[in-house]
Structure 1
Amino acid sequence: MSRIGKKEIIIPNNVSVIINDKEILVKGKKGELLHNLSELVEIEATEKIIKLKIKDKIKKTQSIYGLSRSIISNMITGVSEGFEKRLTIEGVGYRSHIEGKNLILNMGYSHSITIKPPKEVNIKVENNTSIFISGINKEQVGQIAATIRSVRPPEPYKGKGIRYENEIIKRKVGKAGK
């Protein structure tokens, strides 16, 4: 049985949750999110608490159980507080800027890379080397951050590339000379 799935979700005062069959709509000050729950999970809601229950004790149901609880919890956090990721660019000549809503990265390739975010995700660039990604959907914010990082992941010898703000890069020792 999932320990995460057993936890109840507490709904803050500024968030409203509407449940229609297997569809859950969460509205808050930052926006609204919609999610369709699996048929394997049942949902019980009161005014301030949401609880999930499983129908059968099969492995697929138990894995969906914890996942569904996490998704609903992230939806509530997203519409009330939002999610953010920060990326840092390190390296000589590596920089970024915003054109319209698109992020333009100059990462030492012969061409610049353009990343078009979804309309729910906001990207800001501070001093050409700090990228700030924010939005209400945790999955989209994390996916855009991972896409930007994958353009030039940090390399282990000098640490050049794009990394998350608190990411620690294990450095390797270079080639020993004779």
Structure 2
Amino acid sequence: MSRIGKRAVALPDGVSATLEGNVVKAKGPKGELEFVANDEVIVEVKDGEISVQPRDNSKVARSKWGMSRTMIQNIVDGVKNGFERKLEINGVGYRASMQGKNIQLAVGYSHDVVYQVPEGVSAATPKPTEIVLTGIDKQQLGQVAAEIRKFRSPEPYKGKGIKYAEETIIRKEGKKK
């Protein structure tokens, strides 16, 4: 049984949710998001909270139960507070700068890499070695962060590359003579 799925998602002040078939729509001060629930789960909105139940006791329904509840919690948190993801750049000469809405990365290639930030995500570079991404959709924000990190993922010998701020790079020992 899902321990996460049993808890109902509370709707904070300023956030309203509606249910149309299997589509849960949340509207708040930061914007509006929606989540299409799987047919294997039953979603109910009542008394200022959203509850999710499996349709039956099958393994598929139980596996979708906790995930659906977490996705609904993420859209409620997103429209209320939003999400933020920080990336750090390590390496001599490695830097990032904003070029309009695009991020220009100098990460050791013969050319600068220009990444076009999609709608719904905003980027800032408070320092040349730091990128701050903000948005209301947690899934889209994580995808954008992963795509930027992929341009030069951190290597284990010197730690050079683009990494998440909370990530620790396990360093390896180099060759010995």
- TM-score of the aligned structures, taking structure 2 as reference length: 0.97
> Secondary structure, in 3 states, of the residue corresponding to 1:13?
coil
Aligned-residue offset at 1:123: 0.5
Q: Trace 1:79-158 onto structure 2 (pairs within 5 A).
A: 79-158=79-158
**Any gaps of 5 or more consecutive residues in structure 2?**
none
Q: Deviations over 1:11-46 (max 9, x none)?
A: 101100011111111000000001211111111221
2:63 aligns to what? 63
The range that moved more, 68-77 or 101-110, is: 101-110
1:160 aligns to what? 160
1:10 maps onto 2:7 in alignment: no
Aligned-residue offset at 1:48: 1.4
| Structure 1 stretches of at least 4 aligned residues deviating more than 6 Å after TM superposition | none
> Secondary structure, in 3 states, of the residue corresponding to 1:126?
coil
Counterparts of 1:42 and 1:3, CA distance in 2: 16
Aligned-residue offset at 1:109: 0.6
**Any gaps of 5 or more consecutive residues in structure 1?**
none
The range that moved more, 41-50 or 61-70, is: 41-50
> Secondary structure, in 3 states, of the residue corresponding to 2:154?
coil
Q: Trace 1:16-31 onto structure 2 (pairs within 5 A).
A: 16-31=16-31
Counterparts of 2:130 and 2:161, CA distance in 1: 12
Counterparts of 2:118 and 2:127, CA distance in 1: 23
Q: Deviations over 1:128-175 (max 9, x none)?
A: 110000000000111111111111111111111111112111111110
Aligned length: 177
Counterparts of 1:136 and 1:142, CA distance in 2: 11
The range that moved more, 130-139 or 157-166, is: 157-166
Aligned-residue offset at 1:97: 0.9
Cα root mean square deviation, aligned: 0.9
Counterparts of 2:3 and 2:111, CA distance in 1: 48
1:44 aligns to what? 44
Aligned-residue offset at 1:47: 3.0
Q: Deviations over 1:111-131 (max 9, x none)?
A: 221211221000001221100
Counterparts of 2:84 and 2:47, CA distance in 1: 28
